[in-house]
Amino acid sequence: MAQKTVLGRGIGALLPSAEQDKKLILCGIEELTPNKHQPRKVFETDKLRDLVASIKEKGVIQPLLSRRVSGGYELIAGERRWRAAQMAGLKEVPVILRDVRDTEMLELALIENIQRADLNPIEEAEGYQKLIDEFDYTQEELSIRVGKERSTISNHLRLLKLPEPVKKDISEGLVTTGHAKAILGLESPQMQIEAHTAVVKRGLSVRETESLVKRLAKGEPVKKAKGHSADIEKVQDTLKRSLGTKVTISGSDRKGKIMIEYYSSDELNRLIDILKGG
Structural domains present in the chain: 10-131 (3.90.1530.30), 161-217 (1.10.10.2830), 230-275 (no CATH)
Q: Is 79 a catalytic residue?
A: yes
| Active-site residue identified among 74, 79, 104, 112 | 79
**pLDDT value of position 45:** 63
Inter-residue contact 2 to 101 (CB < 8 Å): no
**pLDDT value of position 19:** 41
**Residue spans of the chain under pLDDT 70:** 1-22, 37-47, 103, 113-118, 223-230, 251-255, 278
Q: E-strand spans in the chain? A: 24-28, 32-33, 64-69, 72-77, 92-97, 247-251, 256-260
Residues 79, 134: Cα–Cα separation, whole Å: 22
- Three-class secondary structure of residue 58 per DSSP: helix
Inter-residue contact 77 to 113 (CB < 8 Å): yes
**pLDDT value of position 22:** 47
| Region at 219 (left for phi over 0; alpha for psi -120 to 50; beta for the rest) | left
In this structure, how many other beta carbons lie within 10 angstroms of the beta carbon of residue 192? 22
**pLDDT value of position 278:** 59
